[in-house]
Amino acid sequence: MNDSLDHLTNSPFTGKTGFENLSPAKVTLCLLLLLLAASFIPFVIQKSNLLENQYGAEMVAKSKDYSDPEEFKVLRVRMNLWTSGLTLPFLALLFPLIISNYTGLNKSDLGWKNTGLIPSIKQGFTWLIILVPIVYILQFFMVKIQLLLPGEHVADHPLTQLADQKLLALEWVMLFFTAVVGGPLLEEQIFRGLIQPWIMAKKSGVLITISCAIFLSVFQFSADWYKALTLSLGDESIENASLFLIHITKALGPLLFSLLVSALIFIINRKNKSHAAIGATALLFGMIHAFAWPSPVGLTLLGVGLGIAFAKTGNIVTPIFIHVGFNFLAFGMLLIQTVIKG
């Protein structure tokens, strides 16, 4: 097996795939079209009264009450399972069509190969065994460190909040299609199939991608930045100082992490563009999930493994297999935890 990273653009010949002619504006347009298509499923759900039939009109009305954002938070997560469970697989199937129609790239350019399926899955299984313990150990220590900081802020992923809920059978099905099917299929096509080879082919690819990751690290914690700024301009009381420390610590964590990793990627980029492309893609992948801090630290490492695995095989099936396996493990643990709690 060839262990080089020549498959970053899915071709042994640079300039033969079309990624080098793909402008940032066109990539953005494709992703915006994908977001536009994502509105179709919620529209159908609303018009079909699916949620009203499952939960009743009163519960649906409560889920739309944001006067106290925390009061019906879990209820909204449960109802959103229907949207994500149907939308993500739909977008995963639609993505290659959008890309081929608007960029000229074909499925093979995105990593969908007609050959080498079994070797790609075997390599994916090997990487899965390697990555799972490393990512979980890193995540364990990150949580411990986070609990030592002011505010002890550890944000659960919205789906993990369902562990204490007695979900309907169909809700478990929607959760499965969200986390184990749709999420990995869509994310790997976007990050490893499109963004990673695009970064490799474009001179400014690393800078653009890292800039997006840093922006996400700030934007997703904009409320904490605002509160910290407000408190810094307010009364100099012990209470305000304590709250300021909590909010600024919460906001600074993702930013400092993204800046540190970005600096490392820039250093790597001077010597090896392919490795930098993997790192930049992984950082963006991690910071997309910044809302569940500090999990993006472990997810960035997972993204590096996914990127290397894809680079080695050139087959998108490899990172998809790893991602599916990783999420399936998390899904299984959530299911077991729910069963134990009764």
Q: For residue range 68-104, list pLDDT tens digits in order.
A: 666 678 888 889 999 999 999 999 999 999 999 999 8
pLDDT at 261: 98
Terminal Cα distance for the chain, rounded: 48
- Quick one: pLDDT at residue 66? 76
Structure tokens belonging to residue 102: 């608007």
Cα–Cα distance measured from residue 85 to residue 226, given in angstroms and rounded to the nearest whole number: 33
C-alpha to C-alpha distance for 339 and 342, rounded to whole angstroms: 5
pLDDT confidence of residue 188: 98
DSSP class of residue 152 equals: -
242 located within any domain: yes
Dihedral sign of CA atoms 156, 135, 93, 10 in order: positive
**pLDDT score of 257:** 97
pLDDT for position 123: 96
313 in a structural domain: yes
b/e 287-324 (16+ beta carbons within 10 angstroms → b): bbbbbbbbbbbbbbbbbbbbbbbbbbbbbbbbbbbbbb
- Domain-located, residue 241: yes
Residue range of the domain that includes 82:
6-15+24-106+118-341
Does the residue 292 lie in any domain? yes
Q: Is residue 237 part of a domain?
A: yes
Give the pLDDT confidence score for residue 125 in this predicted structure.
97
Using 50 as the pLDDT threshold, list the residues of the chain that sit under it.
1-2, 11-15
pLDDT of residue 68: 67
How many structural domains are present in the chain?
A: 1
Tell me if 127 is assigned to some domain.
yes
Q: In whole angstroms, what is the distance from residue 277 CA to residue 275 CA? A: 5
Q: Does residue 335 belong to any structural domain of this protein?
A: yes
pLDDT reported for residue 14 = 44
Residue 1 lies in a domain: no
Measured N-to-C along each axis, helices 205-219 and 222-232 cross at an angle, to the nearest 10 degrees, of 60
Instruction: Give the DSSP H/E element, type plus range, for residue 307.
Output: helix 295-313
On the CB side of 101, CA atoms within 13 Å amount to 10
